[in-house]
Amino acid sequence: MLDKDLKAAISTQLMREKKGDALEQKLAAMKGPGVTLEKIVATNPALRMVTADSIRWRDGFIPGYGVDPALVEGMSGLVPGKLSSPVKTSDGYALVQLRGKSLPAGLNIAGEKIRLAPQLLRAKHEQLFSEYFASLRKNAKIEDLRP
């Protein structure tokens, strides 16, 4: 039989996942033509709207909201002006509407690509070798022939 603490932890995790799924479905159902974030928040007092003029992508800080790298990562691929589908956050889901995207002043994208390319290549090589050796270990047939 499971330990009480382990059972409670599993129950808590399952409840959190179920609530998250229900919230994701509820937020997805709120979307529609002509629906804005303002209208969604006005009809649902449990929701709050956060407006931020800038986001620190480096550490996931959103002014008026806090630090949430998962939300910032989810926002990175959104199209400005369009209401998003529910975006996973560190503690639930959010609907996001970007007003625009801009790069920091003085950012040299070509220079950053040149600087980061070797690091990314090295990381991919390490990942490839790690996955290759893990596959070999998993599929290896080893016989113990010791007397």
Structure tokens at 84: 């998003």
Q: What average pLDDT does the segment 7-35 reach?
A: 78
Query: From start to end of 24-64, where are the E strands?
Result: 61-62
Q: Per-residue pLDDT tens for 28-74? A: 777 777 777 788 778 877 777 888 888 887 788 888 888 988 888 88
pTM for this predicted structure: 0.55
In a domain, 114, yes or no: no
Confidence band for 1, pLDDT divided at 50, 70 and 90: low
In a domain, 81, yes or no: yes
In a domain, 119, yes or no: no
Q: Which of 55-69, 88-102, 123-137 has the highest mean pLDDT?
A: 123-137
Q: What average pLDDT does the segment 87-97 reach?
A: 79
Q: Which domain holds residue 55?
A: 4-94
Q: What average pLDDT does the segment 68-96 reach?
A: 82
In a domain, 23, yes or no: yes
In a domain, 116, yes or no: no
Tally of domains within the chain: 1
In a domain, 142, yes or no: no
